[in-house]
Chains A and B, each alone.
Chain A
């Protein structure tokens, strides 16, 4: 079966099929396409396995991670599934996979998958998870960014034409002392 090649880029989504021209799809289409691709591939290769499907929101990477926590790298997922991940999704996947591998390896439960995916969104659900939460936090407790955008505008820049940074050198007596030596 020839799987579609999917590019997922933060809401700006394009999909190409080797036999068809590029077309635009909604995020729902993409998510369905990727999920279907994953299921077909996984079930054909390992039909006896049960897959722990955890979909917490529409983020494609979360559903992929729930399905494929056996795989060790985002690259492996990409090559295995014929899916091209954008850097944000790949980064999220890698972080989640890294945490899973470090923590409970192949016995990862739904809970640890959830925690792996939500390390930047700490919860206070139960006291029994405190030990694991503390281990994950390791002294740094990042809060979810909540910024209010005052304005936003797309601009075109050419890096080579930008003014370059210059140091602000303050000359004080220290320099003159050195000169006298």
Chain B
């Protein structure tokens, strides 16, 4: 495996997708998070339950599966700039009962926890640049997972025509491992009693 100090490389729009590719403003069709009643007009009800959102995403599908053409759909996880995550985090704190007004120290601690992998559903991407592209620190959230057809994604990127950033090894595997940990984790009803 090639090791690299740089986190990212710039790849052209026509480059085939691989794990760690960062796609900005990706349109994603999702079911709206609302109750659905299919008793009436089945098709119309389903149609009205579809929504399309926009998200920055990173490719999670194994690089070898993409390289070998084993998959026709690509697994993606959303991510957003650390600053935007901070705003959302503060909102969530304020929405608590009673409302919380977290200190800067609390936010710094949360960032450390994300960075160190102590929050299972989150991972942090380093800031970096490659070619003419720049990226600020980003928070990847494994709680939401999307799959989009590979053909759709590759044709979208090609038609947009501009280059994208790609996470380099071993950073992309580090992200992939964090994703795996989130799904494979097992919580114990009772932890180990400390008596030493």
**A interface residues with partner B (beta carbon < 8 Å):** 86-88, 91, 94-95, 98, 119-120, 138, 140, 142, 145, 150-151, 153, 155, 157, 159-160, 162-171, 175-176, 178-179, 181
Query: Using a Cβ–Cβ cut-off of 8 Å, how many residues does chain B contribute to the interface with A?
Result: 47
Q: Which 8 A-B pairs have the closest CB atoms?
A: A165-B55, A162-B54, A169-B92, A179-B106, A95-B69, A178-B109, A140-B70, A87-B155
Total of A-B residue pairs, C-beta within 8 Å: 98
Chain A contact residues: helix, strand, loop or mixed: loop
Contact residues of B between 45 and 71, Cβ < 8 Å to A? 46-47, 51-56, 64-65, 67-71
Name, among A86, A138, A155, A166, the residue most crowded by chain B CB atoms within 10 Å (CB to CB).
Answer: A166
Chain A residue at minimal CB-CB distance from B26 = A159
Among B96-104, B129-137, B162-170, B184-192, the one that faces the other chain is: B96-104
Contact of A168 with B143 in the complex, beta carbons under 8 Å: yes
Contact of B88 with A150 in the complex, beta carbons under 8 Å: no
Chain A residue at minimal CB-CB distance from B70 = A140
Contact of B53 with A164 in the complex, beta carbons under 8 Å: yes
Query: How far, in angstroms, from A91 to B154 measured CA to CA in the complex?
Result: 9
The residue from A87, A88, A155, A159 contacting B54, defined by CB atoms under 8 A apart: A159
Contacts of A155 in B (CB 8 A): 52
- 24 A-B Cβ contacts within 8 A? A86-B155, A87-B155, A88-B151, A88-B155, A142-B71, A142-B72, A150-B46, A151-B47, A153-B47, A157-B27, A157-B52, A160-B54, A162-B53, A162-B54, A164-B53, A165-B55, A165-B80, A166-B88, A167-B78, A167-B80, A167-B85, A167-B143, A171-B92, A176-B100
